[in-house]
Structure 1
Amino acid sequence: MKIFIKNMVCNRCIMAVEQLFKSEGLEINDINLGMVDTIEQLTNEQLNSIDAKLSDIGFELIDDKKSQIIDKIKTTVIELVHHTDGQLKTNLSDYLAEKLNYDYHYLSNIYSEVEGTTIEKFYIAQRIEKVKELLVYDELTLSEIAFKLHYSSVAHLSSQFKKVTGLTPSYFKNIRTEKRKPLDKV
């Protein structure tokens, strides 16, 4: 039985959810960002119990189709930006349409309707959070970060960073008072 979970965006989230399911005596067939596939069908009572316990640790079950699609979009973008090298062989719209098996216009319309913003803005926000992370680590130059995250130039990265944060990357790196946001809050 596939169960979709909101705010499950990192490997520690997977570990926390996996531990919760094990503590309930439920066997997991597969677990990924935003989704748990249990071996057995869960009863409504089990689902309610899981939902309450997930809520205690900052997660929630997703039960309607639109929410599941939006969660899949977010999870796919987060995986792309934070858990792979982020290099798209095609544009973002084609990538999402292929990965999620939906027409991009459908995905875009649902996302905008429910979230009040665009998928592209979410993607940019995730990339900027990754830039912040790399700036705070202080191991790469701005040129290396631009190359690593596949920006066309340092100027493009700097322009986008300033547009989103109101700060230049260099200024951000120097002050570091702007705390990074958890991925589920971006």
Structure 2
Amino acid sequence: MKLYIKNMVCNRCKMAVKTELEKLHLQPVSIELGEVELERELTPGEKEELEAGLNELGFELIDDKKSRLIENIKKQIIQLVHQQDGELKVNLSDYLSGLLHHDYNYMSNLFSEVEGSTIEKYFIHQKIERVKELLVYDELSLSEIAFRLNYSSVAHLSNQFKKVTGFTPSHFKNIRAGKRKPLDMV
């Protein structure tokens, strides 16, 4: 039995959901971003208990197909940006259509209607979050980050970063660096 869960977007989320399932003595076959596979169907009581526990953690069981599709779009974008570093061989619309087997215009309209934002804006925000993460790690130059995340240039990355965050990448990096203390100073 597959369950679809809204707001389950990271590894910590997966651990929290797994803990909640184990509290109810439910053993998952697999846990992926946005979905859980169980060995058996849930009783109405188990489903109600699980739903209550997940809601306390900020998650929500999804029953309808449209909501599942939206969560699947988010899941694919998060995986693309955070695990594959945004490496696209085709454009985003073709990528999502091919993976999810839906017309992109349908997905785009549905996403905008429900989320109040476009798929493209969601993709950009995820990329900017990844840029922030890479800036804080301070292991790559801005040029390397731009290349890794498929930006056409450092200028394009910088402009998009400033538009979304209000800061230039270097200013963001300086602000973050000032807030971190070396271990021996803690």
Q: TM-score, structure 2 length as denominator?
A: 0.91
- Offset of 1:45 from its aligned partner? 1.3
- The aligned counterpart of 2:41 is 41
- Offset of 1:116 from its aligned partner? 1.2
Shifted more, 22-31 versus 99-108: the winner is: 22-31
Please list, as runs of the form range in 1=range in 2, the aligned pairs for 1:3-152 lying within 5 A after superposition: 3-152=3-152
* Alignment check: 8 A CA contact 2:86 2:127 kept: no
For the pair shown, the structure with the greater C-alpha radius of gyration is 2
| Structural RMSD (CA) | 1.5
Partners of 2:170 and 2:145 lie apart in 1 by 12
Report the AA paired with residue 73 of structure 1.
Answer: I
Structure 2, unaligned runs of 5 or more? 180-186
CA deviations over 1:60-103 (Å, ceiling 9, x no partner):
11122221111111111011101223211111001111111111
Structure 1, unaligned runs of 5 or more? 180-186
- Offset of 1:17 from its aligned partner? 1.0
Runs of 4+ in 1 over 3 A off after TM superposition: none
Which one has more relative contact order, counting CA pairs under 8 Å at least 6 apart? Answer: 1
Report the AA paired with residue 98 of structure 1.
Answer: G
Report the AA paired with residue 51 of structure 2.
Answer: D
Partners of 2:137 and 2:80 lie apart in 1 by 20
Q: Percent identity?
A: 62
Number of aligned positions between the proteins: 178
- Tell me, what secondary structure is at the counterpart of 1:176? helix
CA deviations over 1:123-148 (Å, ceiling 9, x no partner):
00000011111111122111111111
- Tell me, what secondary structure is at the counterpart of 1:37? strand
- Offset of 1:58 from its aligned partner? 1.9
